[in-house]
């Protein structure tokens, strides 16, 4: 049986940074499920699909095969065979991913792939529904959060470091809108699983959060 850690939480809580670090320290694989929704979203953006046109999205998603692979220890997401890692991090793609992920048909296909992968791979998987739906039997479940102000500031710093101009207040509003959509959708909303450990990273460093998760792993073992 494989060893699985589930990490859920809102956008910008630090899930991917932390999960990558924990994966490295434990020698297990990091699986970023958001990248799968983003790849699907990229396909919809390329096809100029209206994010509110559910029927069209369901029809288009039958044309899409999203798969994950690993190259040089890094996750690669393929959209119909094309490596789209470099194209899925834009805000526009994240917003489309959040919009299409409310649709059950979109989720069904991706969740099945995630479950198949986790069944044969020791991994730490992050997303919104990992502890509640994808891996209800995970060995450890973490719900990682931080205040929307802190998350917006982190995103702001990330973008300004890349030389992109941005507005902190707008980022905060976008984050809160995305949280609301992710938490209030009918299918698999973002919520803390009953048996998940809550970690608030607002006033913690990356290393402190990673250490905390590693200590929970030891306790569980």
Return residues touching ligand DC (CB under 6 A): 11, 33-34, 37-38, 94, 97-98, 101, 127-129, 178, 182
Nearer CB in complex with ligand DC: 20/128: 128
CA distance 182 to 189: 6
State in angstroms the smallest separation of the CB of 88 from ligand DC: 8
DSSP character string of 1-42: ---EEEEE--TTSSHHHHHHHHHHHHT-EEEETHHHHHHHHH
- In the block, which residue shows the tokens 């096809």? 47
Whether 175 and 11 have beta carbons less than 8 Å apart is answered as yes
Q: Which is nearer to ligand DC, 12 or 218 (CB)?
A: 12
Distance CA 123, CA 79 (A): 22
Least separation, in Å, of the C-beta of 132 and ligand DC?
A: 10
Query: Shortest distance, CB of residue 16 to ligand DC, whole angstroms?
Result: 7
Judged by CB, which is closer to ligand DC: 206, or 215?
206
Of 28 and 182, the one with the shorter C-beta distance to ligand DC is 182
Closest CA to 97 of 57, 65, 148: 57
* Tokens (6 digits) for 60: 């288009």
């Amino acid at each position: 049986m494989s060893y699985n850690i589930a990490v859920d939480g809102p956008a910008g809580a630090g899930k991917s940074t932390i999960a990558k670090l924990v994966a490295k320290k434990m020698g297990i694989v990091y699986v970023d499920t958001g990248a799968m929704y983003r790849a699907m979203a990229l396909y919809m953006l390329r096809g100029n699909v209206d994010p509110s046109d559910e029927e069209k999205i369901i029809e288009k998603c039958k044309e899409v095969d999203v798969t994950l692979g690993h190259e040089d220890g890094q996750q690669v997401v393929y959209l119909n065979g094309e490596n789209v890692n470099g194209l899925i991090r834009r805000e526009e793609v994240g917003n489309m991913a959040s919009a299409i992920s409310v649709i059950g048909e979109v989720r069904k296909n991706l969740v099945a792939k995630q479950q198949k992968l986790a069944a044969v791979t020791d991994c730490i998987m992050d997303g919104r529904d990992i502890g509640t739906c994808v891996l209800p039997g995970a060995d450890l479940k973490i719900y990682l959060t931080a205040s929307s102000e802190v998350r917006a500031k982190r995103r702001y710093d990330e973008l300004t470091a890349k030389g992109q101009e941005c507005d902190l207040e707008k980022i905060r509003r976008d984050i809160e809108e995305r949280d609301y959509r992710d938490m209030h959708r009918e299918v698999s909303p973002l919520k803390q699983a009953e048996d998940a450990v809550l970690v608030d990273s607002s006033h913690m460093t990356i290393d402190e959060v990673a250490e905390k998760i590693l200590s929970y792993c030891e306790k569980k073992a």
